[in-house]
């Protein structure tokens, strides 16, 4: 693991630090306190990654001795206070709300203004966002507007005891290395994290917090982007790999698209989802939304069955947090067996139908007993 400065820091700042350890924050930047989480919501539904990040923010705030705040931007008729109360149950102490007609439906310009204005006014030390389409879009523009560092797609967040800085770890060099990035001379320190990388915290209904209301100060005529209509993507959420409890994934060891149907069969019997490696997606055997790994989805199911998958690092990073991993591979030395909990050395074209048949028989017997 290496350590490096954030590449997202501005190009030629007036007081560029010479070395990592001797960076002394200016008095102005020392005033920045607290860990913030941008709460992403859409059509009265909060994205689970926001609660995962509130849980993670709590772990960062405790050693720093500071508060966790939830940031909620939305339209006047959206239930932001209800979301704030939910954020308290997951670990937030405070919530900053801005409700304005121009914040109904995500658009980069008003959300960037709302978030940067709040940062400039209340000065958080750390700000976390989900690495979703919205989070990625917003984080980049907020970081460049604030002239601070942003580490994207982090897999681990910690507080560096030497500097009290956010140590944000992420894969680099095509996933072959991890690097830990610190934004030492700028505030806030920003990071995005993909859904399911962090654990979902347990809600504590007895927790409460303080709600603060702010105003936006922007009118529709100042915004170039217009929201004309919302047309739901008929295919969105059809494949929900990150939150599936059971995933059966297939790799190139299945040889062709016809054999890949064996993966779908087992997933159907188990009531699970189907995942795949990148070469299977590239070969057109399955949709891109099914790709697990560094450039695909991060998953955390209770059961992950990997058939004909070598276990390359780029695939491993997307599935190794699964509770139980069962690997089926003809090669006893395949890297997947280094991190699988159970290994079956055998031909997937024989093992998959055998498992499907055995599970179908077992589940049918169980449902007869229950009836």
Ligand X SMILES: Cc1cc2nc3c(=O)[nH]c(=O)nc-3n(C[C@H](O)[C@H](O)[C@H](O)COP(=O)(O)OP(=O)(O)OC[C@H]3O[C@@H](n4cnc5c(N)ncnc54)[C@H](O)[C@@H]3O)c2cc1C
In this structure, what DSSP letter does residue 317 have?
A: H
Cβ-count burial of 325 within 10 angstroms (0-12 exposed, 13-18 middle, 19+ buried)?
buried
**Based on CB atoms, which residue is closest to ligand X, 35 or 340?**
340
Angle formed at CA 242 by CA 263 and CA 301, multiple of 5 degrees: 65
Give dist(CA 70, CA 84) in Å, integer: 7
Sheet holding 189-193, edge to edge: 150-154, 189-193, 126-130, 35-38, 68-74, 94-99, 210-214
Q: How far is the CB of 328 from ligand X (least distance, A)?
A: 5
Q: How far is the CB of 286 from ligand X (least distance, A)?
A: 11
For the chain, the straight-line distance linking the first and the last C-alpha, in angstroms and rounded, comes to: 55
Q: How far is the CB of 331 from ligand X (least distance, A)?
A: 4
**Based on CB atoms, which residue is closest to ligand X, 124 or 296?**
296
CA distances from 203 to 22, 87, 206 (A): 40, 9, 9
**Based on CB atoms, which residue is closest to ligand X, 243 or 337?**
337
Give dist(CA 258, CA 254) in Å, integer: 9
**Based on CB atoms, which residue is closest to ligand X, 88 or 260?**
260
Residue numbers of the site for ligand X (CB under 6 A)? Answer: 174-175, 251-253, 277-280, 291-296, 308-310, 312, 314-315, 318, 328-331, 334, 347-349
**Based on CB atoms, which residue is closest to ligand X, 37 or 248?**
248
CB 346 within 8 A of CB 307: no
Q: How far is the CB of 155 from ligand X (least distance, A)?
A: 13
**Based on CB atoms, which residue is closest to ligand X, 188 or 318?**
318
Q: How far is the CB of 253 from ligand X (least distance, A)?
A: 2
Q: How far is the CB of 315 from ligand X (least distance, A)?
A: 3
Q: How many residues does the chain have?
A: 371
């Amino acid at each position: 693991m290496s350590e490096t400065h954030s590449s997202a820091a501005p190009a030629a700042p007036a007081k560029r630090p010479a070395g990592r350890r001797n960076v002394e924050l200016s008095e102005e930047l020392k005033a920045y306190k607290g860990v913030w989480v941008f709460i992403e919501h859409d059509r009265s539904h909060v994205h689970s990654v926001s609660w995962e990040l509130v849980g993670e923010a709590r772990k960062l705030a405790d050693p720093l001795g500071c508060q966790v705040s939830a940031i909620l931007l939305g339209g006047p008729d959206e239930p932001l206070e209800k979301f704030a109360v939910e954020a308290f149950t997951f670990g937030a102490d405070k919530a900053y709300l801005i409700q304005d007609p121009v914040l109904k439906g995500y658009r980069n310009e008003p959300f960037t203004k709302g978030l940067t204005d709040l940062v400039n006014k209340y000065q958080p030390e750390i700000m976390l966002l989900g690495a979703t389409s919205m989070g990625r879009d917003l984080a980049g523009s907020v970081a460049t507007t604030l002239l601070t560092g942003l580490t994207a797609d982090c897999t681990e967040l910690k507080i560096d005891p030497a500097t009290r800085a956010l140590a944000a770890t992420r894969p680099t060099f095509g996933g072959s290395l991890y690097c830990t990035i610190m934004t030492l001379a700028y505030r806030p320190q920003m990071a995005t994290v993909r859904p399911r990388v962090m654990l979902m915290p347990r809600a504590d209904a007895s927790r409460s917090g303080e709600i603060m209301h702010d105003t936006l100060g922007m009118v529709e005529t100042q915004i170039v982007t217009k929201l004309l209509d919302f047309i739901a993507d008929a295919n969105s959420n059809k494949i929900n790999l990150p939150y599936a409890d059971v995933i059966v994934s297939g790799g190139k060891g299945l040889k062709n698209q016809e054999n890949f149907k064996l993966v779908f069969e087992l997933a159907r019997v188990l009531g699970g989802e189907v995942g795949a490696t990148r070469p299977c997606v590239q070969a057109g055997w399955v949709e891109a939304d099914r790709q697990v790994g560094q450039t695909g989805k991060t998953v955390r199911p209770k059961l992950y069955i990997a058939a004909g998958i070598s276990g390359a690092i780029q695939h491993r990073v997307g599935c190794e947090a699964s509770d139980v991993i069962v690997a089926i591979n003809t090669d006893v030395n395949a890297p997947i067996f280094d991190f699988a909990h159970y290994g079956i050395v055998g031909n997937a074209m024989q093992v998959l139908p055998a498992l499907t048949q055995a599970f179908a028989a077992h589940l049918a017997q169980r449902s007869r007993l229950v009836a």
